[in-house]
A and B are shown apart, each in its own frame.
Chain A
Amino acid sequence: MSQPVGNPFSTRYTRPGAMAYRFPHGESADRLVERLRAGAWRGQIVGPHGSGKSTLLAAVLPAIESAGQRPLVVELHDGQRRLPADFQGTVEAAEAGIVVVDGYEQLAPWNRYRLRRLCRRRKLGLLVTTHRPAGLPDLICTEVAPELAWDLVEDLLAGLPPLLTPEQLRERLSLHRGNLREVFFDLYDLYELQKT
């Protein structure tokens, strides 16, 4: 990660893709992809808000491509309850091997059923991120342990003086119910305050 210019907790340094995902001990992107392959390229990444699901997805996608699968990524946000228009056409045009849906729980039940049916009929894989189990094989459950949160904060600070103690960070993580993104927003404010 590049040395941050300005506030190290700005979104440009903390957004999915900007930070490398920290796999738990013994896990790696390749191992997850192997597990995905063993599950006929169907799987789910389950975890609460701000636990790194999108970040993990960013880390896993290159490994999926290296494994010979062409992913078609769909990000669902803002209460988006259906897939993009002409999704079927997009799937065909992209010659996708696996459909990746970030925010699967956003889809209405009927659209989830249609998506699963589409993937079954076209023999496509399906990898989703979701807050609750969605009936697909578990790939990994993301959660932010206090120790991991501390490592990430130290990485972001990159040698700058610490903003808070590990205990204080643990408290904030607990306050935000494991939502690391909210913790980062808090630390952004703290950094700005301490800077002055």
Chain B
Amino acid sequence: MARNFRFYEKKRGNRSTGSKTVGRLGEALFFGALLGLGCGGLVLILVLLVIPEWRANHAFLEVPCVVLDKRLGRYEGGDGVRCRPEVRIQYDVAGKRHVIWTYDLRGAYSADEEAVQEVLAGFAPGQRRTCWYDPSDPSVAVLQREISWWFWLWLVVPACLLLIGGGGVVYTLCTWGKSAERRAAQARQVPGLDLLEALRGGERPFPFVPAEKEITDSPGTVLAFRLPAARSPAWSLGIWLAACLLWNAVVAPFAVIVVNGFLSGRPDWFMTVFLAPFLLIGIAFVVVFVRQLLVATGVGPTLVEVSELPLYPGHSYELFLSQTGRLRMNSLEVFLVCDEEATYRHGTNVRTETHRVYRHPLLRQEAFQVRRGVPFEARCPLEVPAGAMHSFRSDHNEVRWKIVVRGDVAGWPDYERSFPLLVYPPGNGESHG
């Protein structure tokens, strides 16, 4: 590999010079691994627990049996002796006699010997009882059938991994495809001639201006159009949660061993020193996740609506803002912003740079409270300056307009949310000034 895979991207100002596609590939692999783990875990739990339990409760057939004997099954493991009830029964199926040791389907051992003894006390040799046998294998039978609901909670773990991993893979693939159409440079045979490319844009009235449907998310409730958020915080949260869980799940057992070593007076200094950086990273993941969670849950959704879309330079519109949550705000600001973004294939990397060319404050509110159930709402005029460049997008270059909402919350992390806008070229006959 040309370079080590980096979890961070080197930044200078707004420039990111890490390899985007390597990053995306890493993302896809990370989520793919989670998806694999989730699928594998789910399959295992289904096969080993869920399906057998369901069959025992629904598919097994009832048959009378006789108790012949009973005993306390023992198992000596690293954490002590565990036991389970074992009962010897005799029953007949289709004229064939079966004699087996059994109790329930799982055959799980327990550390609670008293409870197990109590179970065994309910059985006595010679007793006539009812058992349930597996019609596909009559030599398997149980005396006890129950749905151990709490055990099925294990399904939650692989289900989570599956959801996070599957969602992440889908998200990565969807955005990967979009990013490649917009940014990927075509490989050129050297020397690079200025070969003319076919007409782009087709019959669209505004070539190389993003289509309206990409921006218009839904009709507004106060004004005509509600702007979609540039990125849902759920994805960010999901990613950080997954990273946090995975990393700390791996590091935690070793941390326990190290702590136990200290507590028992036999510290393992080598492992302590070796583990320290991993532990710090795990803590950092937790901190970042908690911070993101605070912002996402405490701040609440930010809604932005505009009176018209698309916008045109030199025209005035109206903007509506709604901020929910339970917040003590130091300030809330809304800006109209225009960014230029340029992507360049930089040797073996892809280099993307963003430059803000316009930023105009639309609204500023200071020192106020947002109460739960009572969102902060405000309206303000929105004017696109005359002579401004319209929204523009080509393979490697973009001019992007957006509304940026920035909140300074007392005692909590600041937040910033972006809402893309569409600015069209002025109509024929219009000019700036």
Given the known interface contacts A58-B192, A78-B22, A78-B349, the answer about A106 and B2 at a Cβ–Cβ threshold of 8 Å is: yes
- Mask: chain B, 1-34; 1 = CB below 8 Å from A; 0 = not: 1100000000000000001111001000000000
Looking at B309-317, B339-347, B385-393, the stretch in contact with chain A turns out to be B339-347
Residues in A with CB closer than 8 Å to B348 are 49, 76-78, 103, 105-106, 131
A103 & B2 in contact (Cβ 8 Å cutoff): yes
A131 & B2 in contact (Cβ 8 Å cutoff): yes
- Mask: chain B, 333-367; 1 = CB below 8 Å from A; 0 = not: 00000000000111111100100000000000000
Q: Which of A50, A58, A78, A181 contacts B190 (CB 8 A)?
A: A58
Q: How far, in angstroms, from A108 to B2 measured CA to CA in the complex? A: 9
Q: Which of the listed residues B2, B187, B189, B191 has the most CB atoms from chain A within 10 Å of its own CB?
A: B2
Q: How far, in angstroms, from A131 to B1 measured CA to CA in the complex? A: 11
- Mask: chain B, 170-194; 1 = CB below 8 Å from A; 0 = not: 0000000000000001011111100
Is A62 close to B, CB under 8 A? yes
B192 & A18 in contact (Cβ 8 Å cutoff): yes
- Mask: chain A, 66-93; 1 = CB below 8 Å from B; 0 = not: 0000000101111111000000000000
Given the known interface contacts A16-B192, A78-B21, the answer about A181 and B347 at a Cβ–Cβ threshold of 8 Å is: yes
Q: Report the nearest A residue to B17, measured CB to CB.
A: A182
B19 & A17 in contact (Cβ 8 Å cutoff): no
Q: Report the nearest B residue to A84, measured CB to CB.
A: B187
Residues in B with CB closer than 8 Å to A53 are 347
Q: Report the nearest B residue to A54, measured CB to CB.
A: B347
Residues facing B in A10-40 (CB within 8 A) are 11, 15-18
Residues in A with CB closer than 8 Å to B22 are 78-79
- Mask: chain A, 114-154; 1 = CB below 8 Å from B; 0 = not: 00000000000000000100000000000000000000000
B189 & A78 in contact (Cβ 8 Å cutoff): no
Question: What's the nearest-Cβ distance from chain B to residue A93, in Å?
Answer: 15
Q: How far, in angstroms, from A105 to B349 measured CA to CA in the complex? A: 12
A79 & B191 in contact (Cβ 8 Å cutoff): no
Is A96 close to B, CB under 8 A? no
Q: Report the nearest B residue to A131, measured CB to CB.
A: B2
Q: How far, in angstroms, from A15 to B194 measured CA to CA in the complex? A: 13
Q: How far, in angstroms, from A62 to B189 measured CA to CA in the complex? A: 12
Question: What's the nearest-Cβ distance from chain A to residue B228, in Å?
Answer: 28
Given the known interface contacts A103-B347, A131-B2, A181-B347, the answer about A79 and B19 at a Cβ–Cβ threshold of 8 Å is: yes
Total interface residues on A, CB under 8 Å, equals: 29
Q: Which of A61, A76, A108, A185 contacts B191 (CB 8 A)?
A: A61
Is A57 close to B, CB under 8 A? yes
A57 & B1 in contact (Cβ 8 Å cutoff): no
B345 & A61 in contact (Cβ 8 Å cutoff): no
Q: How far, in angstroms, from A49 to B2 measured CA to CA in the complex? A: 11
Residues facing B in A97-114 (CB within 8 A) are 102-103, 105-106, 108
B347 & A50 in contact (Cβ 8 Å cutoff): yes
Residues in A with CB closer than 8 Å to B19 are 78-79
Given the known interface contacts A78-B349, A79-B19, the answer about A17 and B1 at a Cβ–Cβ threshold of 8 Å is: no
Q: Which of B20, B185, B346 contacts A181 (CB 8 A)?
A: B346
Q: How far, in angstroms, from A105 to B4 measured CA to CA in the complex? A: 12
Residues in A with CB closer than 8 Å to B349 are 77-78
Q: How far, in angstroms, from A181 to B351 measured CA to CA in the complex? A: 11
A78 & B350 in contact (Cβ 8 Å cutoff): yes
Residues in A with CB closer than 8 Å to B191 are 17, 58, 61-62
Residues in B with CB closer than 8 Å to A57 are 190
Q: Which of the listed residues A57, A79, A103 has the most CB atoms from chain B within 10 Å of its own CB?
A: A79
Residues in B with CB closer than 8 Å to A78 are 19-22, 345, 348-350
Q: Report the nearest A residue to B396, measured CB to CB.
A: A11
Given the known interface contacts A78-B20, A103-B2, the answer about A73 and B189 at a Cβ–Cβ threshold of 8 Å is: yes
Residues in B with CB closer than 8 Å to A54 are 190, 347
Q: Report the nearest A residue to B189, measured CB to CB.
A: A73
Q: Report the nearest B residue to A59, measured CB to CB.
A: B191
Residues in A with CB closer than 8 Å to B190 are 16-17, 54, 57-58, 61, 73, 102
Question: What's the nearest-Cβ distance from chain B to residue A79, in Å?
Answer: 4
Residues in A with CB closer than 8 Å to B346 are 49-50, 181
In the A-B complex, the 8 residue pairs with the closest CB atoms: A79-B22, A78-B21, A17-B192, A105-B2, A58-B190, A103-B348, A75-B187, A17-B191
22 A-B pairs in the complex with CB atoms less than 8 angstroms apart = A17-B191, A17-B192, A49-B347, A57-B190, A58-B190, A58-B191, A62-B191, A73-B189, A77-B187, A77-B345, A77-B349, A78-B19, A78-B20, A78-B21, A79-B2, A79-B19, A79-B21, A79-B25, A105-B2, A106-B348, A131-B348, A181-B346
A interface residues (Cβ-Cβ under 8 A, vs B): 11, 15-18, 49-50, 53-54, 57-58, 61-62, 73, 75-81, 102-103, 105-106, 108, 131, 181, 185
